[in-house]
Chain A
């Protein structure tokens, strides 16, 4: 499903070069729920960004669903992101000017999909995360847990094969965080591959596998 071969990424400023990822070799099978752990600055988010085609590695190869990613041409990678990947962020990153319905509908707008089909999928996603009654609410009118559930609905509405979650419970209390984790677990049971960055060891233990990063390298 996801295959990284010798992936390296260096961030350069005028005076400093930072090796974010150093020859990462990693494979995530279809249907796996993998957590990525490590200290701050070890390259976890960079790893997620590269898998999610938001960033381009300096060296190495990436394969998603059997597709070898080359060239990183804008339109092509945007299309692949739209169809293959769903993102969940620690800060939710809901568009505050749009209500929940419009936020969840966002990925579908970048596909050629009839409005009726979009509506069906959005409603289904919101039902799945238990937010059907909040469709017309704005992010500012909801709690953190509700916002994250809306973000999950947005991530799954396009039925991507891969969910990339960057500390999805980081801004939530433990009870709400567990609720979110339960939703992710249910998604995984339904067949979605999930790669989750987390600092929470207890949540990581609920996943199939823990990948540990240190200074841009896989350890353990």
Chain B
């Protein structure tokens, strides 16, 4: 999301851990956000233990039931499958894919950014040109083309999303590294004879980590939406696997007759992303006090 590129907290050496516990209580927004995210994640985790209907069992005679009808708490979809059950099981799928994709993009993009920012010069130039090429390609189309090329399925959707997001992480990390690179403690480490790798890992990375944490938190929401988007276009989860995107796509045909089939997974996505954004926002405030008065 564009906002992230513009307003990240300045990376610094200031210790962060000590004050955050106190701030948690100060901040209602953070608490709500954390609560929302934890609730959804928890529900997703314990879904197998809950007394839910099997999410894949079809009952064509009771398709498109409304909420509360025919014993379905949230209604049923076009094959008569329980929406509540598919929602919770779908949460597991959607969240996992987003997390893993974020991880992959982070590692891959982050490494590129780290190297480009730290070494500069030709390395920087070449790497950033490659990233430019990746960015000039309309990102959604790249994801779709990749999935069409690799075949549909969650794994490939995951790869596509990760690849597409690498450029954001690369640029973000690079920008952060550029700021840090010339700071005194780096010069000091060099003067003391530390090797590049060591500097990278022990000095640069920890300084860059906090703003990156904010970045990742805010980005995961976007990834969840992108995963849903790919499934929405039909290139994500395979039947009968439920994920929020396919549920949204399936529901689209029934908007006239049964809008709840699409509305409910959409609300779920909204809630989770909202929670994540609240957490990310608050983290950002906490990490960079100079921004604090600007946002709240």
- Are the chains A and B members of one assembly? no
